[in-house]
């Protein structure tokens, strides 16, 4: 397996990995009628708006993981609001009947969460990572995070953060092992941060 920068031909594979890990690390295929919605929220804006900080893990045949980052979260959210969300809002109308999981994602398309200024003062960048089960437990997750973190720090970031569902205890332990600490606690998720070296 090898880690490299995202290329346009990786898009389908990254969307597939997003769906296959979209239920707190487990396969979310059964939850979604539209297999692209998760990718539209959690992959597309990164590879389109921040390709310099997008990396994939390939096994020689297909994408089996990715790590995606945004250098300036506030700017990234502004650009997504201007360029990424409007076409999706036209495609996914809020009053169209759909299943519960897809409906929640469509609400997020129409009203994405803005990152709080207090968080961004210390951790202006953010990242997220997903790997298929067959790529986990072999050091690739660490390699992916370190690759995107190094990319963000080289570009001048003073700190990075990520969000993780509280029920995903395995991921929380993994991030703690890589130097992330909880900086915000919510009912359903933690925000974890790591300062620049």
Token pair 């395995």 is found at 170
Dist CA 136 CA 142 (whole Å): 10
User: Where in the chain are the domains?
Assistant: 2-195
Instruction: Give domain 2-195's CATH architecture.
Output: 3-Layer(aba) Sandwich (3.40)
In this prediction, residue 171 has a pLDDT band, given cuts at 50, 70 and 90, of confident
Residue 173 pairs in a beta bridge with none
The torsion angles phi and psi of 59, rounded to 5 degrees, stand at -100, 15
Query: The whole model's pTM is what?
Result: 0.92
The torsion angles phi and psi of 180, rounded to 5 degrees, stand at -85, 145
Long-range pairs of 116-121 with CB within 8 A, sequence gap ≥ 24: 117/74, 119/161, 119/183, 119/184, 119/191, 119/193, 120/73, 120/74
Give per-residue pLDDT as tens, 64-78. Answer: 999 999 999 999 999
Give per-residue pLDDT as tens, 22-48. Answer: 998 899 999 999 999 999 999 999 999
């Amino acid at each position: 397996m090898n880690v490299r920068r995202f290329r346009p031909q990786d898009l389908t594979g990254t969307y597939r990995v997003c769906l296959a890990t979209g239920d707190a690390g487990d396969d979310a295929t059964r939850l979604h009628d539209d297999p692209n919605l998760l990718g539209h929220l959690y992959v597309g804006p990164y590879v389109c708006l921040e390709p310099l900080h997008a990396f994939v893990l390939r096994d020689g045949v297909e994408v089996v993981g990715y790590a995606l980052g945004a250098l300036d979260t506030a700017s990234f959210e502004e650009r997504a609001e201007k360029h990424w969300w409007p076409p999706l809002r036209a495609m996914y109308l809020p009053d169209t009947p759909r299943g519960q999981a897809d409906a929640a994602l469509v609400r997020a398309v129409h009203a994405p969460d803005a990152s709080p200024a207090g968080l961004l003062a210390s951790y202006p960048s953010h990242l997220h990572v997903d790997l298929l089960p067959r790529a986990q437990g072999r050091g690739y997750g660490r390699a992916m995070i370190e690759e995107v973190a190094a990319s963000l720090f080289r570009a001048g970031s003073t700190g990075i953060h990520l969000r993780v569902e509280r029920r995903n205890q395995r991921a929380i332990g993994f991030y703690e092992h890589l130097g992330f600490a909880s900086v915000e606690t919510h009912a359903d998720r933690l925000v974890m941060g790591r300062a620049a070296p």
